[in-house]
Amino acid sequence: MKAMVYYGENDIRFEEREKPDLQAPTDAIIRMVKTTICGTDLGIWKGKNPEIRRVAEEKTGSFNGRILGHEGVGIIEQVGSAVKNVKVGDKVIVSCVSRCGTCENCQKQLYAHCRNDGGWILGYMIDGTQAEYVRTPFADTSLYPLPAELNEDVAVLLSDALPTAHEIGVQYGNVQPGDTIAIVGAGPVGMGCLLTAQLYSPSQIIVVDMDENRLAMAKELGATHIINSAKEDPVARIMAITDERGVDCAMEAVGVEATWNVCQQVVKEGGHLANVGVHGKSVNFSLEKLWIKNLTITTGLVNANTTGMLLKTCCSGKLPIEKLATHHFTFDQLEKAYDVFKHAADEKAMKVIVDFA
């Protein structure tokens, strides 16, 4: 089969790989129908996650590359003997988080930290979804049957982008009716924060980015204020919008120091700072200024414990998620898809969808 394989920093290759086999009775083999490229995949490509090679070498003594990808929709081709909830022929959403459902952490719905070799492993610790076939561990608890009425482009975003935004941004940020919130970063996850925050009726949603195209989309999707941080000081503008009070919740949705700094300067006393972005480098944490403000600061990796709820909400048509799917490519164009997503601002790309058929 064809697959996009990571070998090291700035080294990914679209090449032939062996089709996966079942390794445990709880596994399933999925023939992929759609996948996508996540900002995390770009981060891996750029060297943000060297532990992929290190862990593989520690376990096996060698590293033969890692197939990227942790989002997608596919059709089940084979199931292990213990799989009961899904069957061969089912079209399913592949969750970015694999969970055993029985360990101490899974019993707390802390699925991101499943202690039985689960959590975020696809495209990271094991081969992922940017291939014609993928092995998915814990199929019964990590696959979601695809409703016939749900747009498949939306379904792909339910693998990761939307649950991450909702859980780590909106829920951890404790968004309440009437709140003022700031979302710093208008990529796919930031847009997911914008959309799912509206389920909780905040009074003001301020979106900050440097991309005019993304800011225009944010306005279309419900932002009450947009700020281009390349043209004006986002901290000063947010403080002016909020009568110098700051916001009840600031969501950092990029993963760099500049966006973190905006968030820690605009959250008001008693507020929440929800870090959603994946950080590969340390940032300055101004504790000398923040200790007195009675803040709640959260971090997290998505647990995907709200995926089922979000799936039903998307089926109801209440979230216009399909607008985030701006570009489509066939699987043999995957290298081009990476190039477009890498230059998202120039290409006016939000989420690229890769179709296998």
- Bridge partner residues of 226 (DSSP): 207
Cβ 120 vs Cβ 112: under 8 Å: yes
Q: Note the pLDDT of residue 318.
A: 86
Q: Kindly report, residue by residue over 154-208, the tens digit of the pLDDT.
A: 999 999 999 999 999 999 999 999 999 999 999 999 999 999 999 999 999 999 9
211 contacts 186 by C-beta, under 8 angstroms: yes
- The amino acid that residue 64 corresponds to is N
pLDDT in tens, 15-56: 999 999 999 999 999 999 999 999 999 999 999 899 999 999
Backbone angles phi, psi at 184, to 5 degrees: -100, 105
Strands 72-79, 28-36: pairing is antiparallel
pLDDT tens for the chain, 357 residues: list them: 999 999 999 999 999 999 999 999 999 999 999 999 999 999 999 998 999 999 999 999 999 999 999 999 999 999 999 999 999 999 999 999 999 999 999 999 999 999 999 999 999 999 999 999 999 999 999 999 999 999 999 999 999 999 999 999 999 999 999 999 999 999 999 999 999 999 999 999 999 999 999 999 999 999 999 999 999 999 999 999 999 999 999 999 999 999 999 999 999 999 999 999 999 899 999 999 999 999 999 999 999 999 999 999 999 988 899 999 999 999 999 999 999 999 999 999 999 999 997
User: 271 by DSSP, 3-state: which?
Assistant: strand
Q: Where are the beta strands (DSSP E) in 80-221?
A: 91-94, 133-136, 143-145, 180-184, 204-209
pLDDT of residue 220: 97
Which pLDDT belongs to residue 188?
96
Sign of the alpha-carbon torsion through 276, 71, 197, 224: positive
Q: Which amino acid would we find at residue 3?
A: A
pLDDT at site 262: 98
Parallel, antiparallel or unpaired: strands 247-252 and 225-228: unpaired
Sorted by where each starts, the structural domains of the chain and their CATH numbers stand as 2-160+304-355 (3.90.180.10), 162-298 (3.40.50.720)
What one-character-per-residue DSSP string does 20-73 give?
A: P---STT-EEEEEEEEE--HHHHHHHTTS-THHHHHHHHHHS----EE----EE
User: In Å, how far are 58, 93, 167, 301 from 141, measured between CA atoms?
Assistant: 28, 11, 18, 18
pLDDT of residue 63: 96
CB 72 within 8 A of CB 32: yes
pLDDT at site 12: 97
Q: Which residues contact 294 (CB under 8 A, 6 or more apart)?
A: 269, 270
Among 93, 321, 88, 10, smallest CA distance to 191 is for: 321
Residues with Cβ within 8 Å of 263's Cβ and at least 6 positions away in sequence, in order, are 182, 184, 250, 251, 252, 273, 275
Determine the pLDDT at residue 280.
Answer: 85
Q: Specify the pTM.
A: 0.96
With beta carbons less than 8 A apart as the criterion, state whether 97 and 141 touch.
Answer: no
What residues have CB less than 8 Å from 48, skipping those under 6 apart? 278, 280
